[in-house]
Structure formats: structure tokens, C-alpha cells
């Protein structure tokens, strides 16, 4: 049986966290409710290792996540996240990483 791996960097052997691809803080917004069913808002989750999860939230706002980056593919294609994923994928599973908020985050 294979170990679960981070949906972004693919590393296994580390604790995974559940990332809401449509952030819970956005669920009550009318625009989000029109775009996604309640079931979809609640069930769209991705297992991420803590460094990847921190990077996603450091780079993108919750509104950006809900509207434009609500799939793993979209997150992988975001340039700053893609660079981070390439870097972190070479590190040991429990490597401690400090992530800084980015200025372009709105």
C-alpha cells in the first residue's frame, strides 16, 4: 500500500493537511454560491504538506483561491507556487520551511 503524498510536491512520509480549494471563508459569498454547489464547496479538498499549504496561502488571497485557483492544476500553474514546488520536492519530508507573505497577494 502506498503512502499518501502531497498533491502539489508529491512528497510522501510527511503529515498532510486538508486544503479547501474553495476557502470556507468564501462559501457564503453570493458569487461563489452561484459558481459552485454546496456539495462542491465542501468536498473540494486537496491533501497538502504543511510547507506547500503555507506557500499557497502566502501567495494567494482567499478570493483568488476561490475564483481562479480552485483546482490543483491551477495551483500548479501559478508561477510562484510552481517554483516553490520544484524546490521543496527535493527536500526531506519533514524539512522545516519559513514562508513569507508575498506583496502581490491581494
Q: pLDDT of 28-60, one tens digit each?
A: 999 989 999 899 889 999 999 999 999 999 999
Candidates 101, 27, 100; CA nearest to 70 is 27
Q: Are 14 and 54 in contact (CB under 8 A)?
A: no
Q: Percent of the chain scored above 70 by pLDDT? A: 92
Percent of the chain predicted with pLDDT > 90 = 68
Number of domains the chain contains? 1
Q: Is the model's pLDDT at 2 over the cut of 50?
A: no
Task: Report if pTM > 0.85.
Answer: yes
Residue 74 belongs to domain spanning: 1-106
pLDDT at residue 7 above 50?
yes
Amino acid at each position: 500500500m502506498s503512502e499518501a503524498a502531497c498533491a502539489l510536491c508529491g512528497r510522501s512520509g510527511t503529515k498532510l493537511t486538508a486544503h479547501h480549494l474553495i476557502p470556507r471563508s468564501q462559501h457564503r459569498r453570493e458569487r461563489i454560491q452561484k459558481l459552485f454547489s454546496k456539495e462542491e464547496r465542501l468536498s473540494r479538498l486537496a491533501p497538502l504538506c504543511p510547507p506547500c499549504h503555507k506557500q499557497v496561502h502566502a501567495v494567494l488571497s482567499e478570493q483568488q483561491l476561490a475564483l481562479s485557483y480552485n483546482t490543483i492544476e491551477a495551483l500548479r500553474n501559478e508561477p510562484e507556487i510552481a517554483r516553490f514546488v520544484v524546490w521543496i520536492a527535493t527536500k526531506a519530508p519533514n524539512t522545516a520551511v519559513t514562508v513569507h507573505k508575498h506583496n502581490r497577494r491581494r
